[in-house]
């Protein structure tokens, strides 16, 4: 059994392409919930939903309607497809009934036919707030609505000090862990801000895939956000941010010298074949740490 940590789009690409390497049913994924936001009275969980939805377009279905809504007086800065919106309606209704987010995600995963356990990092609310030269804003507003235009001063994980990882997440973290090529600040940061989550990572075997090639990031605002939090925006900075990682998977073109075992491959993810290739490198890295992987 291997547990994946996911946020954004990089890790989901790794997950689905890597199914032949890591059996999905025994490879749970713990998802960031710091991006969760309320839109039009509905609870939207972007990072959870990216894992829940198949890569076949369920999440974007109906976005032509969503574009029409932009001109209909409905103030939504995120384009929600029709099936996407239906999931948010269902999730919000189940939460209103008193179910935990973990319970709700389990219901949704079953209904969507997801072939792996999908676990929120916490049932407690945590919000990633980006403090900018225009004031504080939720990360989704900063990234989706403002296209990362405001200058970043700092990043806050609001609520993390009082939040606890779920029992299911902590149990999953007892197995070897794979940190996908997600944003170290906004995808992993909320998880690491919870003491028990970070301590669990320190106690298990961890392999991390760098989202950088030396100082070049594949996508997203990871570079700017790492710089704003006092980290070098590079693979070296990622290694500093992940002191619990026992080994790394780096791109062939990344010559960064790390003090831990490194396996290199082409880490760009765009197709299922890419995911299989990178997962194979992850498996090699796990084996080099001495971890037992079925």
Is the pLDDT assigned to residue 100 strictly greater than 80?
yes
Alpha helix stretches (DSSP H) within 136-221: 139-140, 167-172, 189-192, 195-202
Nearest to residue 291, comparing CAs of 187, 175, 164, 154? 175
- Could you tell me the CATH number of the domain that includes residue 25? 3.40.50.10680
Domain that holds residue 189: 3-37+47-53+115-289
Does residue 260 sit within a domain? yes
> Burial letters for 139-153: b for 16+ Cβ neighbours within 10 Å, e otherwise?
bbbbbbeeebebebe
Model pLDDT, residue 199: 98
Task: Report the distance separating Cα 193 and Cα 187, nearest Å.
Answer: 11
**pLDDT one-digit tens code per residue, 50-90:** 999 865 444 444 444 444 444 444 455 566 767 778 899 99
Stretch among 33-47, 239-253, 272-286 having the lowest mean pLDDT: 33-47
Rounded mean pLDDT of the chain? 90
Model pLDDT, residue 76: 59
Nearest to residue 263, comparing CAs of 283, 244, 240, 233? 283
Model pLDDT, residue 57: 41
Beta-carbon contacts of 173 under 8 Å, excluding residues fewer than 6 positions away, are 3, 30, 165, 197, 200, 201, 204
Does residue 268 sit within a domain? yes
**pLDDT one-digit tens code per residue, 138-172:** 999 998 888 889 999 999 999 999 999 999 999 99
Model pLDDT, residue 284: 98
First-to-last alpha carbon distance for the chain, in angstroms, is 6
Model pLDDT, residue 63: 42
Neighbouring-strand partners of residue 250: 264
Does residue 182 sit within a domain? yes
Does residue 136 sit within a domain? yes
Task: Report the distance separating Cα 128 and Cα 63, nearest Å.
Answer: 26
- Better-predicted residue by pLDDT, 58 or 211: 211
> Burial letters for 58-96: b for 16+ Cβ neighbours within 10 Å, e otherwise?
bbbbbbeebeebeeeeeebeebbbeebbebbeebbebee
Query: Are 105 and 120 in contact, with CB atoms under 8 Å apart?
Result: yes
Three-state secondary-structure class, residue 78: coil
Task: Report the distance separating Cα 99 and Cα 105, nearest Å.
Answer: 10
Neighbouring-strand partners of residue 213: 216
Question: In total, how many domains does the chain have?
Answer: 1
Does residue 78 sit within a domain? no
Taking each helix axis from N to C terminus, what angle separates 272-289 and 10-17, rounded to the nearest 10 degrees? 90
Model pLDDT, residue 145: 85
Please report which confidence band the pLDDT of residue 254 belongs to, taking 50, 70 and 90 as the band edges. Answer: very high
Please report which confidence band the pLDDT of residue 37 belongs to, taking 50, 70 and 90 as the band edges. Answer: very high
Query: Are 46 and 143 in contact, with CB atoms under 8 Å apart?
Result: no
Model pLDDT, residue 79: 64
Is the pLDDT assigned to residue 219 strictly greater than 90?
no
Does residue 181 sit within a domain? yes
């Amino acid at each position: 059994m291997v547990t994946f940590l996911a946020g954004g789009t990089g890790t989901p690409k790794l997950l689905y392409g890597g199914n032949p390497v890591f059996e999905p049913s025994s490879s749970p994924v713990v998802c960031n919930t710091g991006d969760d936001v309320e839109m039009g009275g509905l609870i939207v969980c972007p990072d959870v939903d990216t894992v829940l939805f198949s890569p076949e377009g369920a999440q974007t279905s109906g976005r032509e309607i969503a574009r029409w809504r932009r001109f209909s007086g409905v103030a939504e800065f995120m384009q929600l497809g029709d099936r996407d919106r239906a999931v948010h309606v269902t999730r919000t209704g189940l939460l209103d009934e008193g179910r935990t987010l973990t319970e709700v995600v389990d219901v949704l995963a079953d209904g969507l036919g997801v072939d792996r356990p999908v676990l929120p990092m916490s049932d407690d609310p945590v919000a990633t707030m980006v403090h900018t030269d225009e004031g504080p804003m939720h990360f989704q507003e900063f990234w989706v609505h403002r296209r990362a235009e405001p200058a970043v001063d700092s990043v806050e994980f609001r609520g993390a000090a009082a939040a606890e990882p779920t029992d299911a997440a902590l149990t999953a973290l007892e197995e070897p862990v794979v940190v996908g090529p997600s944003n170290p600040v906004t995808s992993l940061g909320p998880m690491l801000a919870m003491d028990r989550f970070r301590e669990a990572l320190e106690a298990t075997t961890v392999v991390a895939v760098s989202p950088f090639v030396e100082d070049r990031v594949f996508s997203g605002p990871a570079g700017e956000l790492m710089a704003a939090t006092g980290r070098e925006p590079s693979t070296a900075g990622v290694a500093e941010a992940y002191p619990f990682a026992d080994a790394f998977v780096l791109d062939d073109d990344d010559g960064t010298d790390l003090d831990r075992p490194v396996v290199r491959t082409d880490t760009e993810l765009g197709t299922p074949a890419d995911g299989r290739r990178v997962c194979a490198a992850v498996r090699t890295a796990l084996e080099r740490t001495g971890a037992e992987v079925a």
